[in-house]
Structure formats: structure tokens, C-alpha cells
Amino acid sequence: MLNADQIYKSYQRGGLFSKERKQVLTDVSFEVKGGECLGIIGESGSGKSTLGRLLIGIEKPDRGTVTLNEVDVSERHRRIGKISAVFQDYKSSINPFFTVEQAILEPLELQKISVDQKAIKVDGLLSEVGLPHTYKHKYPHELSGGEIQRVCIARAISTEPDCILFDEAISSLDVSVQLQVLNLLRKLKETHSMTYVFITHDIQAAAYICDRILIFRNGQVEEMVETESLKDVQSDYAKQLLRALITF
């Protein structure tokens, strides 16, 4: 399904003419199976979000490949509609001058569907994420954080993608709303038979929604474990990280 093969990524460090580079990802390889939710957890600065951007093709690795169903995600025209993302900062994820309807329809611009079909599509998507049809005429500033994130989720599933990346997608929400969104994601995953990559620092959220968990450390895969076997992680770092996250 989604495959990362020997990924390396670095960024220039220092001034414009500096030749110094900071290595962010080193020899990262793993596979996300079709229909599963893979969680990626790690400390801040471990490279999780950089990895996420590479997985959806926003950035390219220095070396290695990321493929979705054997298609390189860096080929934009071939990945469109096949992979979507929901990010932490929902406030900047939607154009503030777009209505909810316009935001949801944005990924469908290249699809030739009629106005009536678009209206039916939007109503159906809003219903799926638990929002009234009347919300399609609202603007982002009229919605709560949880409602905006539901709109972002509706937009993400609008193209019926094979895979959705969630990068800290619930961390900015109130605790009372987080469980609602997690339950929604579980339901949508089952309904649409989608594959998820769930990047988070919240081990409890990861354990609730993920089938397997990849523990990330300093830009490298430290350990991969089935969620039900989290307590049996092998490396000292994984044990320390889990204790720290659960305590936090």
C-alpha cells in the first residue's frame, strides 16, 4: 500500500551560502498495510512531521522513495485524489474566504461533476462527519475548532482516497472533542476501507485508533510494534518514551 524505502532528508542550515546541512531523516523504511492505521509517535523534533510531508508528496526525499500502490507520491498528477491529509492547524487549513461548501469541493475541482452532483456530494459528506447540511453556507470564523476539523476531514475524504495522513490532527482540540473526532475517524475508516497514517505525540490516542505503532527517534525508526503489544516494546528508548508520554 504505502511504502517508504530508505528515506533520507536534510535541510540547509545557516545562511544563504552555507554548505552546512542538518540531517533530519536517515534510512527510514516501513510499509503501511492496506486498511490499517499506522501510528507514528516520537518526541518533538524527532522528524515526524517532516516524514509526514514526504509521505504525501509535499516534499521530496534527498534519497529513497515513497510509493502508494507502487506509484511514486512525488508524481503529483498521479497522486491527486489518492492521498489526503488533515493537519494540526485547522485555522490555516481552510481559506477564510471560502464557505464550507467551497472548502469541501476544492479537491474536486478537476473532476467533471455537475452542480447538482456537487450539492449532493457536499450534503453527504457533511452528514458523514456529523454536521448539518446548513453548515455548507457558513465560513470558518463561524465554526468551532472541532467543527472546522470535521470540515477538514470531510474535504480529505471527498476524493475517496486510498490513504489519509493525520498530522497531530486532534492535538489542538479540546479534550472533550478529541474523543468525538477519534470515534468519527474510526467509523469513516471502516465505512470507506481507507488506510490511515496517524502522527501524534498522544500515546493514548494512538493506542485507541491505531493497529500498529512506529516509534520514531532522531529521524530514524526505533521500533515497530502491534498496538496490543505496546507494553512489550524492546528498546530502552521506547520504554522511556512511553512512560514519559503516559505520565504527561
* pLDDT recorded at residue 45: 86
CB 80 within 8 A of CB 26: no
- Region of 38 please: left (phi>0), alpha (psi -120 to 50) or beta: beta
pLDDT at 119: 85
CATH code for the part of the protein at 1-82+164-248: 3.40.50.300
Please name which of 154, 157, 115 lies closest in space to residue 138, comparing C-alpha atoms: 154
What pLDDT, on the 0 to 100 scale, is given for residue 13? Answer: 82
- How many angstroms separate the CA atoms of 14 and 12, rounded? 7
Question: DSSP label at 171?
Answer: T
Closest CA to 153 of 65, 224, 94, 68: 94
| pLDDT confidence of residue 33 | 94
pLDDT, residue 231, reads 85
Q: Which portions of the chain are predicted below pLDDT 50?
A: 248
Domain boundaries, the chain: 1-82+164-248, 91-158
Identify which of 212, 228, 140, 152 has the alpha carbon closest to the alpha carbon of residue 184.
152
